Amino acid sequence: MTHYFNKTLFFSAFIVFSGLILSGCRQQPATLQVGTVQNDTLIGVPCCVYLPYGYAERVTKKQEVFPVLYLQHGMWGEEHDWTEKGNLIGIMDSLLRIGAVPEMVVIMPDNCPSRPTYEEEKADATSGEWENNFAQFMAEAEARYSISTEPSQRAIAGLSMGGYHTMRVASVLDGQFAYIGMFSPATFVHQAASAPTLLWIGIGNEDFLYDSLQEYRHWLEEHHYEYTYYESAGEHTWDNWQDYLIRFLPKCFR
């Protein structure tokens, strides 16, 4: 089913949505506090990593293992996009406080280093290097952080070119991600992972990638892939991508 959502301010969208999900929320401790973000490098790739509150002490004393989301930026972006433009910390804090999501680690890599021109950037992004090296990237992340190695506790998502990378990584590492989110994705190649728990796709009805995504949806349906589709108003913007992340996250790790 297609839904239309008109929004003026990001947090007005969040308030409306939080009211819809409160009835099915998880109970979180009253003392729950927001997580922190640190910089890291995995297999030479710069990353921004969101860690739950008190992460270091908790994994040392209690040996806690957290679900993990690999969250990717778009073309000409970098590893800090989701924290500096996408309000990742604010979104996680708000969702955690109403019990809509479990605590998790979010790893945000520089999945598409910027190039001087569009064609050079596109060629680099679609070369296959990122998805072919992702197993090694994930292995180093799992060795360094206390994150689950179970597919049921792994999610991957991305916007625009990062949505393309999400599709490609999930296809190359088929069956390794239970939750897949594609936000206004570029769809140069029609592929999909086999039967994830959730394939979630969102786009604005004025997005320049709208028509190509409809073609991809037609391909998915022809090949009998199940997916959840959300259509908002608007263009290729951070307001929409924040909205999509808010809608995607509560469906993960349930």
The per-residue pLDDT for range 137-153, each reduced to its tens digit, is 999 999 999 999 999 99
Which has more pLDDT, 118 or 179?
Answer: 179
CA atoms 166, 171, 176, 177: torsion sign:
positive
Q: Kindly state the average pLDDT of the residues 37-42.
A: 96
Alpha-carbon distance 172 to 129, whole Å? Answer: 11
Report the DSSP pairing between strands 179-183 and 68-72.
unpaired
The pTM is what?
0.87
Alpha-carbon distance 185 to 164, whole Å? Answer: 6
- In DSSP terms, 231 is beta-bridged to 203
Token pair of 163 as six digits:
């949505």
The whole-number pLDDT of residue 12 equals 35
- In DSSP terms, 49 is beta-bridged to 38, 107
Q: Which of 37-41, 49-53, 156-160, 193-197 has the lowest mean pLDDT?
A: 193-197
